Amino acid sequence: MIVDNNSSDGSVELFKNNFPDVKLLSLDKNLKYAGGNNAAIDYLSFNEDDFFLFLNNDTLVSRDFLHHLINPFLNDSDCIISVPKILFSKDTNRVWYAGGVVSFWKGIINHIGIREFDGPRYSFPMETMYATGCCLCIKASDFEKLNRFDNTFTMYCEDVDLSVRAKQGNNKIIYSPESIILHSVSQSLGDNSFEKIRMKLLNQIRLFWKHASGIQLITITLYWIFFYLPGGFLKWIYFKLR
């Protein structure tokens, strides 16, 4: 199923004319990632044993990627979400996502292996801290129990929020590196744009305000003031000037 978030580039007509058998949900306004995907679930008919695969429109998938995303659920009863290895589409030897790390003491979120060369160390299945919304697989019943994506996250961090809620108890998010997709990064806002950075920061604040403890919020504030924000500004300048 395709969800069109009120685009103006002719996408709706393209799908209607070229893919008449594909379900298309054309929204009257842009509900962003969380709202658009939640709207799609309302539109679908599904059983509790079905799986939902959330996949960005700026991706290319390998032929058997879905098979390898389902395997973790069959091999581990505690698996609640599975995620693939994601490589840059413009440089398929480099990793974009090989799992994720969240620090509730520093208030930072990082992809494992980002921009590094792909290799054996990124080729082993493992439990990871968060799933990226670029591509994640989850059982329909579990997605409903988690009350879906939180619509207050307009863009960015809705996937981390879902992951934090999903990992309660013994639940696991499993990185399945045999499942491989390619990602054309930041097609919606443009790579390293000011708007992208602004939205990321706002939603990171929303995420940690929602999930961090009082003492963690204090350490996050100090880390952001003295390290994270100054470093992020210098990084933005570097990418703009190079």
Q: What is the pLDDT of residues 126-181, one digit of tens each?
A: 999 999 999 999 999 999 999 999 999 988 999 999 999 999 889 999 999 999 99
Sorted by where each starts, the structural domains of the chain and their CATH numbers stand as 49-241 (3.90.550.60)
Whole-angstrom distance, CA of residue 100 vs CA of residue 98: 7
Structure tokens at 99: 């799992």
Tell which phi-psi region holds residue 6, choosing left (phi > 0), alpha (psi between -120 and 50) or beta. Answer: left
Residue type, 55: L
In angstroms and rounded to an integer, the radius of gyration of the C-alpha atoms of the chain is 18
Q: Token pair of 190, please?
A: 């443009």
Q: Is the pLDDT of residue 241 over 70?
A: no
State how far the Cα of 64 lies from the Cα of 182, in Å rounded to an integer: 13
DSSP letter for 118, please: P
Q: Identify which of 137, 141, 151, 139 has the alpha carbon closest to the alpha carbon of residue 37.
A: 151
**pLDDT tops 60 at residue 60:** yes
pLDDT score of 62: 92
Instruction: Write down the pLDDT at residue 242.
Output: 65
pLDDT confidence tier of residue 195, bands split at 50, 70 and 90 = confident
Q: Tell me the pairing of strands 59-61 and 2-4.
A: unpaired
DSSP state of 227: I
Pick from 107, 109, 105: which is nearest to 216 by CA? Answer: 105
Structure tokens that stand for 202 in this block: 């706002």
A 10 A CB-CB count for 163 gives: 25
pLDDT band at 230 (very low <50, low <70, confident <90, very high): confident
Q: What is the mean pLDDT of the chain?
A: 92
Amino acid at residue number 77: S
Six token digits for residue 163: 């992951």
> pLDDT value at position 115?
94
Task: Give 98's contacts (C-beta < 8 A, 6+ positions apart).
Answer: 85, 86, 111, 112, 113, 122, 175, 177
Start-to-end Cα distance in the chain: 39
